[in-house]
Structure 1
Amino acid sequence: MASPTPKPRSLEGKVAIVTGASRGIGQAIAFDLASRGAKVTITYSSDRSAQSTSELIFKIETSANSKAIGVQCNLQDPSATKKIVDATIEAFGPSIDILVNNAAVISDKKIEDVSPEHFDEVFHLNVRAPLLMLQATLPHLRRPGRIINISSVGARAGFPGTGTYSASKAALEGYTRNWAAELGGDGTTVNAVNPGPVESEMLDQVSPEIVEPQKKATPVGQRVGTAEEVAEIVGFLAEGRSSWVSGQCLSASGGYAMY
């Protein structure tokens, strides 16, 4: 992670859940929210992520002067969402203010190689898990709440070999707009952030034949973005000053995806 920039404590007293936050964009989001004063629950899936999660929690408590807990779970398992919410309430009290659905798996398979099992794996984590997380959070959501889904430029741009991933992110955008319409009566907002290529372990799984043309087609610097640049946008959407922004899918791609 890049050196933190001091931020106003605009989320002091708020409680946030960030799924898949042990690395990459999720890690940057968790730290950014904590830097704004939020207490943060970080979910991670594997034993190998435990160390990076512990390091992030230490950094949040020392550098960001906030509180954080880690919850290991498999979001492919429908029961994981209750575990996450229960742990959050036990640690931080009865209310949750912010939910960031970040956990995802990327698909890099050609059409003929997509099996039903692979399709289910991608959609269960990228689409079903955000729905179940929202369902588990809603009874405890302090209104007006902030729901933020992490999508991808792939939701609206086609790349060879990533059709299942792109379809799952397009579905998540559909949920974003419909949830915004359904939950907005009390001021709750629902938005998505669509990163372009971002320096991360996930990006390392994508073929250079896909990434390099994207870099060249990015007007801002002809480069990939950083996780911190995406986190800044999520932080704004989590704040009270974003109260008139809802149902939007905001591209964070350096101008690569102008839609």
Structure 2
Amino acid sequence: MNDQRVAVVGGGSRGIGKAIAVALGARGYAVAVGFHGSDLAAVQVTEEITTSGGRALAVQADVADEDAVAKMFDVAEKSFGGIDVVVNSAGRLSLSPIADLDLDELDALHRTNIRGTFVMAREAARRVRAGGAIVNLSTSVVGLQFPGYGAYAASKGAVEAMTLVLARELRGRDITVNAVAPGPTATELFLDGKDEATIERLAKQPPLERLGTPQDIAEVVVFLASPAGHWINGQVVRANGGII
């Protein structure tokens, strides 16, 4: 009997999601790497996992499309025998003062961040086995309230709310549900469009005086997904080096 734990990582082809997928693979999980855009990037992630002796496959899915997400979970179950961990790191970021934000961009952001998280969480709630874990990605901006992040912070506030509700709805199932809320983290998404002065200022905010790395966040997610982290449930972990 194969008792290998299985993880589905939405948005697993780049940035924090990639680091999470690779870290889970290194811990012995079979990993379904969900992606929406570049299949090449997702294949590279699976190759990194398999080259190190792990098991992984890439599955294309728009996290806001319930049929595509269901198929992604089907592939993971058929290929690996079940699902124990679901991580949703797929996200969209739009920076603008609230007064200036195009509402079409607001709708697109909320489709990925709110609807996408909801669809992934709904499918996870139906499929994750006892002893498993669901981890959503939020942001420390919910608490920091940086100007320009109004739409993004609003979407992630919704992620935190649904995470805590789902943890309580799964009473008796032996499944944990948590959110990880990174602070400023050195990903392409975060660094894009920022000048060196802005990056340096943000890096000095935490008492540890540096930006987070995708690996920093991945280690928190891996802990929450593991049996060692199973007593942590219904929490938002602000992984930001101590900003708040």
Shorter-chain TM-score category?
Answer: over 0.9
Checking the alignment, whether the CA contact within 8 Å between 2:86 and 2:133 is kept in structure 1 is: yes
- For 1:157, which of 116, 137, 144 is the aligned residue? 144
Checking the alignment, whether the CA contact within 8 Å between 1:76 and 1:121 is kept in structure 2 is: no
2:22 is aligned to 31
Map 1:86-165; keep pairs closer than 5 Å: 86-93=74-81, 95-165=82-152
Structure 2 unaligned runs (5+)?
A: none
1:214 aligns with 2:205: no
- For 2:66, which of 68, 78, 88 is the aligned residue? 78
1:58 aligns with 2:10: no
2:33 is aligned to 42
TM-score, structure 1 normalization: 0.88
TM-score, structure 2 normalization: 0.93
Q: Secondary structure at the match of 1:161?
A: coil
Q: Secondary structure at the match of 1:185?
A: coil
2:56 is aligned to 68
1:13 aligns with 2:1: no
Q: Secondary structure at the match of 2:119?
A: helix
1:99-118 CA distance string (max 9 Å, x none): 10110001112212323321
Structure 1 unaligned runs (5+)?
A: 1-11
1:139-185 CA distance string (max 9 Å, x none): 32211320101111112111111100011111111111111111132
Checking the alignment, whether the CA contact within 8 Å between 1:159 and 1:210 is kept in structure 2 is: no
Partners in 2 of 1:24 and 1:237 — Cα distance? 19
Percent sequence identity over matched residues?
37
AA aligned opposite 2:14: R
Partners in 2 of 1:254 and 1:135 — Cα distance? 31
1:190 is aligned to 177
Partners in 2 of 1:55 and 1:66 — Cα distance? 13
AA aligned opposite 1:193: V
Partners in 1 of 2:117 and 2:240 — Cα distance? 22
Give RMSD over aligned pairs. 1.6
- For 1:173, which of 160, 164, 187 is the aligned residue? 160
How far off is 1:210 after superposition? Answer: 5.6
Q: Secondary structure at the match of 2:79?
A: helix
1:189-209 CA distance string (max 9 Å, x none): 111111111111111235447
AA aligned opposite 2:114: V
1:227 aligns with 2:214: yes
Structure 1 stretches (4+) deviating beyond 6 angstroms?
none
Partners in 2 of 1:86 and 1:229 — Cα distance? 30
AA aligned opposite 1:114: L
Q: Secondary structure at the match of 1:218?
A: coil
Partners in 2 of 1:105 and 1:211 — Cα distance? 20
AA aligned opposite 2:130: R
- Residues 122 and 152 from structure 1, CA distance in 2 versus in 1: closer, same or farther, beyond 3 angstroms? same
Checking the alignment, whether the CA contact within 8 Å between 1:152 and 1:194 is kept in structure 2 is: yes
